[in-house]
Amino acid sequence: MGFELERVLYETEDFLRRNLGSRAQREAKKRKAQRAFEEAMRRLRRAGLVFVGIVAALIVYSLAVAPIGFLTWIVALPTALLFALLTMFWPSRRRRETNDVRRPPDLGTLAARVEEGLLDRRAELPGRALPAADAILSRLNELQPHLDRLDPASLPAGDARRLIGEHMPRLVDTYLELPPSSRAPGSEASQRFTESLGIVADELGNLLDTCCRDKQMRFDTQNRFIETRYREDFKDG
């Protein structure tokens, strides 16, 4: 009876964590939507340039070579518009560079890609692993602007690439490859996965501290200066 009650409580907790969502999840969804919107705007801008370029070429041809008849314009303009619209289905240059398997992505792009991948698979994770997953989503977002400033040959950059691009995704992949019965709420595999995901979240926090160490030192130095320079004046006033 006690075991059955514990299982029901665990499944209830799992259901609530999975369906209530979290602030980190909502913010990650907003960032993903923003990146998708920016990609759509890049494609739309390119389509507009293609259409304008075709029309401009037709005008130049009409003025410099031979006049284009009215019926030709009636056919040419919809054709140019159709071709421009078709270009919207082609990824932008930035997206192609990001997805090019022949060249490793920069660390900031890698962090954004892994963040989206974890967000897409969040619903498949154990309920008790979701706080760690949310912490990872938040820290990946915080890390992105700092990772791009790291020397690619430095030790922190190598650690970041292995942790973000290899170890963490492989942990999620190998867990989700287990049969559903092994991933049931409260199972040993789910508990071990939750612990490992927590370790990844902590390590990302350490990596963030490493990336921001110089900024923290500058802040501490300035803070000590302010305290030393003005504290007595403030007390006297």
* Burial 76-89, CB ≥16 within 10 A → b, else e: eeeebeeebeebee
- Token look-up 């923290």 returns 216
Closest listed residue to residue 135, CA positions, set 206, 183, 188, 189 = 206
Q: Phi and psi for 24 in degrees, rounded to 5? A: -60, -40
Distance CA 83, CA 65 (A): 23
Is the separation of the CB atoms in 230 and 197 below 8 Å?
no
- Kindly tell me the sign of the dihedral angle through the C-alpha atoms of 39, 142, 105, 169: negative
pLDDT at position 94, please? 65
pLDDT at position 152, please? 81
Distance CA 140, CA 9 (A): 32
What's the mean pLDDT in 209-234?
A: 73
Per-residue pLDDT tens digits for 71-123: 888 888 899 899 888 888 887 766 655 555 556 678 888 999 999 999 999 98
* Burial 160-185, CB ≥16 within 10 A → b, else e: bbebbbeebbeebeebeeeeeeebbb
Domains in the chain, number: 1
55-64, 95-104, 146-155, 190-199: which is most confident: 190-199
Distance CA 54, CA 104 (A): 35
Distance CA 162, CA 58 (A): 52
The parent domain of residue 35 ranges over 2-236
Instruction: Output the pTM of the full model.
Output: 0.74
pLDDT at position 98, please? 55
Q: What angle do CA 137, 140, 144 make, to 5 degrees?
A: 145
pLDDT at position 127, please? 85
What's the mean pLDDT in 224-228?
A: 76
Name every residue whose Cβ is closer than 8 Å to that of residue 25 and which is 6 or more positions away in sequence: 119, 122, 134, 137
pLDDT at position 120, please? 92
Residue 42 identity (one-letter amino acid)? R
